[in-house]
Chain A
Amino acid sequence: EAGVTQSPTHLIKTRGQQATLRCSPISGHTSVYWYQQALGLGLQFLLWYDEGEERNRGNFPPRFSGRQFPNYSSELNVNALELEDSALYLCASSLAGYYNEQFFGPGTRLTVL
């Protein structure tokens, strides 16, 4: 069974541009989570989508947004990129609802120059 997949593996952008990151969950999973792992800050929760709706949001500015498609894949958009947005962005998926185990993808490394 395929795990969580993310694309692209690496993404290089310049300050002020927009970045789009994609995630495909494990088959049968309808919840998708996004986390940011910036150097020195540890993993921080960004967003949770379930059944196409945003269910919870971490302490990030509005220029971090996303959506979930009918096939449960998800997109994370980061607008007006800043240097400090450089990080590893990890996507996870789980069964629907609360308190289920989250399975992580390999991540997208975003570098902002």
Chain B
Amino acid sequence: KQEVTQIPAALSVPEGENLVLNCSFTDSAIYNLQWFRQDPGKGLTSLLLIQSSQREQTSGRLNASLDKSSGRSTLYIAASQPGDSATYLCAVLYGNNRLAFGKGNQVVVIP
């Protein structure tokens, strides 16, 4: 079964601290992995996409790593800001072309 788990479900950090969000997946036969941001009641904003052959991707303050063999990805957000408060979703693309999502990390950055 293709399960995606995100831990912790919720976290609060003071402004300026670095954020570390974890994603694990049970089936390592992935094609790519995406990190999304979702604001309450809204759609998904794609943050980073890592192809299965890649180890990491970076965009501004965001960095995502991928370890396919251990079934893990980590999203790092440097120097967090109150505007980073949102739910972050990890999604894995498998051979059936479906994205399998974790339930998300709900982040609150405290000013």
Report A's interface with B, CB cutoff 8 A. Answer: 33, 35, 42-45, 48, 55-56, 58, 88, 90, 92, 98-99, 101-107, 109
For the residues of B in contact with A, the DSSP-based class is strand
- Closest residue to B96 on the A side, CB-wise? A56
How far apart sit A44 and B100, CA to CA, in the bound complex (Å)? 7
For B100, what are the chain A residues with a Cβ–Cβ distance below 8 Å? 45
Q: Which residues of B, 31-54, contact A by the 8 Å Cβ criterion?
A: 31-32, 34, 36, 41-46, 49
Judging by beta carbons under 8 Å apart, are A104 and B46 in contact?
Answer: yes
Q: A48-B98, A101-B32 are in contact. List 9 more A-B contacts (CB 8 A).
A: A43-B99, A45-B98, A45-B100, A90-B44, A99-B32, A104-B36, A104-B43, A104-B44, A104-B46
Report B's interface with A, CB cutoff 8 A. Answer: 31-32, 34, 36, 41-46, 49, 89, 91, 93, 95-104
- CB<8 Å pairs between A and B, sample of 9: A35-B99, A45-B99, A48-B98, A88-B41, A98-B31, A98-B97, A99-B97, A101-B32, A104-B36
With A43-B89, A55-B97, A56-B96 in contact, do A101 and B49 touch (Cβ < 8 Å)?
Answer: yes
Judging by beta carbons under 8 Å apart, are A103 and B97 in contact?
Answer: no
For A99, what are the chain B residues with a Cβ–Cβ distance below 8 Å? 31-32, 93, 97
Which 10 residue pairs are nearest across A and B when measured between Cβ atoms?
Answer: A43-B101, A106-B43, A104-B44, A45-B98, A42-B103, A99-B31, A107-B43, A104-B43, A98-B97, A101-B49
- Closest residue to A4 on the B side, CB-wise? B43
- Cβ of B25 to closest chain A Cβ, rounded Å: 14
Judging by beta carbons under 8 Å apart, are B104 and A42 in contact?
Answer: yes
For B97, give its contact among A44, A48, A104, A105 (CB under 8 Å). A48
